[in-house]
Structure 1
């Protein structure tokens, strides 16, 4: 199979635990581009979180916010906004349990209350700036994803909202909140349609729970050696870890670089 496009998760895939891109990964992406294959970032992160990495790797297309936004070389090809009626229900329930929400728009993000320790801990773990505070942001702005800040033993408090949202834990104190059924695969599908590339000619790399649909959807789904164990059944191939030439070895397996 000749692959034309490759989608890459960020945390645990392109960057390691220290949020550093290994030099071998930088070199492998450069070789991939030289071979005429389009690299695309596919992340749960918002676009304002990925700009430095994209510039470092010379990647100008991305699927972000867990598939809610897909941009190909500056052109938006897909956007899924969470209905305000759904957010209103979540806001009320989070307020009842005194849990902080962070609203993620296309261009900025805001917490609904200041000085939440779980916000500080989880967001700073991404090596990005903390959000501002604006409890009313969702009322007048498009929200594409939220963070819900609670601990894992409290997840079940939100089971009543599972018809409206998909919840994915990414930190001990934070969940991604997506519209029901949302995933990176939706943004990938829109980009492939825009570029008229068959799904079979795409590959994807990931390591986390929010990569299940992406790996299953791609023509070739590659899990990193450091992946969450629950991701592995969704992969066609398991490469080595991010710090052990994982991207290079996966691209070699796909026949895209030497």
Structure 2
């Protein structure tokens, strides 16, 4: 039995180049591998609330979400790495002082104050507003928060960095990604590699039977852990250098091609 871990953006789909749905060739290969008895997992920085029906319909055995902050196996959450409540509260208080929109992300839901128009309207324009819960008790949700995601204006970057350095130190991790204004805050102990290790232990699958597929910088940690690492042809040079193998690009059916080669029937 093998365990295969798949990134989403740039690997299964790529909205940046108009690939909004998983190619049928990939779906066919995933089902073939499933029928052979292998275990399949999505390994993503996204919360489950940001997985559409197309992604959720794939024959996956589980999900590594928030880059390892949540592990769900066979519809059961087996691990959560929640933010410390006081740090989560201090993060939100800091963002409110800056006038920055933010949302709270838990294992199953995303919460946002609808008055945070910039962030809410951004996702509404993408047709994703249904993923939000709008009526909630902030304090109660903070006890379950995995990640805080926020929009921070350029003029507030220096102030944000001052807060992070002097008020949080190494107790909180933050990443800038996506748009110019998007920051994520979460526990520094979140790790895709540790999450994969937990999944392998759960199924008692040896590490030598593990495969990771991705294209982004957050996949390098996964590549350094799994036995077999495969970069997409659309990955950066740094990501390719961290992988054992580089396949073709997503638009040239790279994932389906390499699955046929690596794990033939």
Q: For this structure pair, what is the TM-score category when the shorter chain's length is used for normalisation?
A: 0.7 to 0.9
Q: For residues 10 and 49 of structure 2, what CA distance do their matches in structure 1 show?
A: 19
**Contact conserved, 1:22 with 1:243, CA < 8 A, in 2?**
no
The equivalent residue for 1:92 is 93
**Please, which of 223, 233, 251 is the counterpart of residue 231 of structure 2?**
223
TM-score by length of 2: 0.84
Q: What are the ranges of 5 or more consecutive residues in structure 2 without an aligned counterpart?
A: none
**Please, which of 214, 232, 243 is the counterpart of residue 235 of structure 1?**
243
Offset at 1:104? 0.5
- 1:17-32 correspondence to structure 2 within 5 Å: 17=15, 18=18, 19-32=20-33
The equivalent residue for 1:48 is 49
**Contact conserved, 1:222 with 1:238, CA < 8 A, in 2?**
yes
Give the RMSD, CA atoms, in angstroms.
2.6
> 1:180 aligned to 2:188?
yes
Structure 1's consecutive aligned runs of 4 or more residues displaced over 3 angstroms after TM superposition are 122-130, 132-136, 138-141, 151-156
What is the aligned length? 255
TM-score by length of 1: 0.86
The equivalent residue for 1:137 is 138
Q: Which moved more, 1:124-133 or 1:18-27?
A: 124-133
- 1:162-201 correspondence to structure 2 within 5 Å: 162-172=169-179, 173-201=181-209
Secondary structure of residue in 1 paired with 2:42: strand
Q: For residues 226 and 96 of structure 1, what CA distance do their matches in structure 2 show?
A: 39
Distance 1:57 1:178, change over 3 A: same
Offset at 1:162? 4.9
**Please, which of 137, 143, 147 is the counterpart of residue 149 of structure 2?**
147
Q: What are the ranges of 5 or more consecutive residues in structure 1 without an aligned counterpart?
A: none
The equivalent residue for 1:83 is 84
The superposition leaves residues 65-115 of structure 1 with CA deviations (integer Å, 9 ceiling, x where unpaired) of 221111211232221111111112211221222212210112211124524
Q: Which moved more, 1:3-12 or 1:226-235?
A: 226-235
Structure ranking higher in helix proportion? 2
Of structures 1 and 2, the larger Rg is shown by 2
Q: For residues 134 and 207 of structure 1, what CA distance do their matches in structure 2 show?
A: 36
The superposition leaves residues 32-51 of structure 1 with CA deviations (integer Å, 9 ceiling, x where unpaired) of 22232211111112223326
> 1:35 aligned to 2:36?
yes
Q: For residues 31 and 184 of structure 1, what CA distance do their matches in structure 2 show?
A: 25
Q: For residues 119 and 69 of structure 2, what CA distance do their matches in structure 1 show?
A: 24
Q: Which moved more, 1:52-61 or 1:16-25?
A: 52-61
Q: Which moved more, 1:152-161 or 1:211-220?
A: 152-161
Secondary structure of residue in 2 paired with 1:25: helix
